[in-house]
Amino acid sequence: MYLDQPLEAFPKGEIFLGDSDEGFIVKQGVPPGMKELENGYSFTLVTPERTWLFAASSTDERQSWMKALESVINQTSSAPTEAIKETVRNDLRNSYARKSRVGAHKGEWGLTNVLPNK
């Protein structure tokens, strides 16, 4: 999942990762023909559906993100099917929709957890 702002309550969307055999690649910098981002710590995630451009706040942060993404992409699993993707989307939507009243007299609301308890 990704957000517009770091502390935003609801995700803007999600990116499903598959393996390199299916066309998933992480590259340092921006795709050819695009202007480098101002901070210069950009990296690109290529998926079969689209190309994603990301910006980190430092070289170390960029390397950390690229390493994490590459570790998932280099696994020998396959990308989730459309049915699995839709199930995840529905679970996320439902978790945000189930609100429990917390401090209702103050107009405050709480959200249920997205992930099941272990």
Lowest mean pLDDT across 1-5, 26-30, 47-51 = 1-5
Q: What does the domain layout of the chain look like in residue ranges?
A: 17-79, 80-118
CA distance 68 to 22: 18
- The predicted model gives 32-50 an average pLDDT of 85
pLDDT at 26: 94
pLDDT at 104 over 80: no
pLDDT in tens, 17-35: 888 888 899 999 988 888 7
**What pairing do the DSSP bridges indicate for beta strands 51-55 and 42-46?**
antiparallel
Q: Candidates 1.10.1040.10, 3.30.70.1450, 3.40.50.2300, 2.30.29.30; correct CATH number of 17-79?
A: 2.30.29.30
- The predicted model gives 76-98 an average pLDDT of 63
Q: What is the DSSP letter of 57?
A: S
pLDDT at 95: 59
Asked whether 37 and 56 are in contact (CB, 8 A), the reply is no
Between these two residues, 35 and 47, which has the higher pLDDT value? 47
pLDDT at 80: 61
CA distance 4 to 40: 20
